[in-house]
């Protein structure tokens, strides 16, 4: 028998007020490795991440995490169960220093070892500990956001566009860290950089107008002629 999924989503529908954005989404994520969520702007990728962490309610369907139905749980309780989230926007407090952002991210549960591990993973942050996060480069800000989420020791990390606004030279560095992390934890990543996404993730889910248009192993999706059709602007 195959191992049960860490995250299992079935028939998930989500919207804003009366406008429905996601329809009958189904996906499953194992305990380690990465799933990439791809799709054009506006197809509902961020909406899906917000629904998984609990910032948006499910209008239908079910989200199961670590064997438990979390569909009705508020975000903080999902976080306590091991879901981590790096949102696309406002992921760090601009006026707080790097050190303060990390302390707040750890919600009092951070340890000196945890902090040291993050600074080892992202050495650029170590040189900027007392600098306001708002003065960091795009890449440093993304690293800080990832480090904050990791301090809570999630079992699954939701990453919404972790290389958006990041200089090309630093994208590779972030990709390497994520690849290493995915050996020991689960990652769901929304990523515009197609090669990065396919290189990191074993499985891919392509959304189109709020529905799953393609889903499968990265190697198969990579050579599927429909992929570029669904990603073309
Ligand atoms: N707060 C909101 N209120 C109403 N509609 C929204 C809101 N946020 C996003 N949407 C709409 O939901 C759709 C999906 O948005 P989003 O999930 O952000 O897409 P993506 O992340 O794939 O670019 C878009 O049509 C967008 O306009
Ligand atoms: Mg988005």
Ligand (nearest to CA of 87): 2
Strands, E, within the chain: which ranges?
7-16, 19-29, 33-38, 60-65, 68-69, 83-86, 156-160, 186-190, 203-208, 211-217
29-66: pLDDT as tens digits: 999 999 999 999 999 999 999 999 999 999 999 999 99
Give 181-210 pLDDT, tens digit per residue: 999 999 999 999 999 999 999 999 999 999
Ligand 1 binding pocket (C-beta < 6 A) is 16, 21, 39, 41-47
- Spatial separation of the C-alpha atoms in residues 93 and 44, rounded to whole Å: 25
Residue nearest to atom 1 of ligand 1 (CA): 16
Which phi and psi (to 5°) does residue 162 adopt?
-70, -5
**E strand or H helix at 174:** helix 168-181
Per DSSP bridges, beta strands 33-38 and 203-208 are parallel
Distance 51 CA to ligand 2 centre (A): 13
Residue 1 has pLDDT above 90, yes or no: no
- Output the residue whose Cα is nearest ligand 1's atom 6: 16
Q: In order of start, what are the domains of the chain with their CATH numbers?
A: 7-231 (3.40.50.300)
Average the pLDDT over 112-128 and give the result: 91
**Which of ligand 1's atoms lies nearest the C-alpha of 41?**
23
Query: Quick one: average pLDDT of 222-226?
Result: 95
CA–centroid distance, residue 26 to ligand 1 (Å): 19
pLDDT band of residue 108 (cuts 50, 70, 90) is low
Q: At what angle do helices 138-150 and 112-121 cross, to 10 degrees?
A: 150
């Amino acid at each position: 028998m195959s191992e049960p999924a860490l995250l299992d989503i079935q028939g998930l529908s989500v919207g804003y007020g009366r406008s429905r954005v996601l329809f009958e989404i189904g996906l499953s994520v194992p305990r380690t490795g990465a799933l990439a969520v791809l799709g054009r702007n506006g197809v509902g990728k961020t909406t899906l991440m917000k629904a998984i962490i609990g910032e948006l309610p499910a209008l239908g369907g079910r989200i199961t995490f670590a064997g438990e139905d979390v569909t009705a749980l508020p975000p903080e309780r999902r976080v306590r169960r091991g879901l981590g989230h790096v949102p696309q926007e406002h992921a760090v407090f601009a006026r707080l220093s790097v050190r303060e952002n990390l302390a707040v991210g750890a919600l009092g549960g951070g340890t000196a070892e945890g902090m040291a591990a993050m600074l080892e993973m992202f050495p650029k942050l170590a040189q900027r500990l007392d600098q306001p996060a708002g003065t960091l480069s795009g890449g440093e800000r993304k690293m800080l956001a990832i480090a904050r989420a990791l301090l809570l020791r999630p079992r699954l990390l939701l990453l919404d566009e972790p290389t958006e606004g990041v200089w090309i030279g630093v994208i590779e560095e972030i990709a390497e860290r994520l690849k290493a992390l995915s050996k020991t934890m689960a990652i769901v990543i929304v990523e515009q950089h197609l090669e990065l996404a396919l290189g990191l993730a074993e499985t891919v889910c392509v959304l189109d107008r709020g529905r799953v248009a393609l889903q499968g192993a990265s190697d198969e999706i990579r050579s599927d002629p429909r992929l570029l059709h669904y990603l073309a602007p």
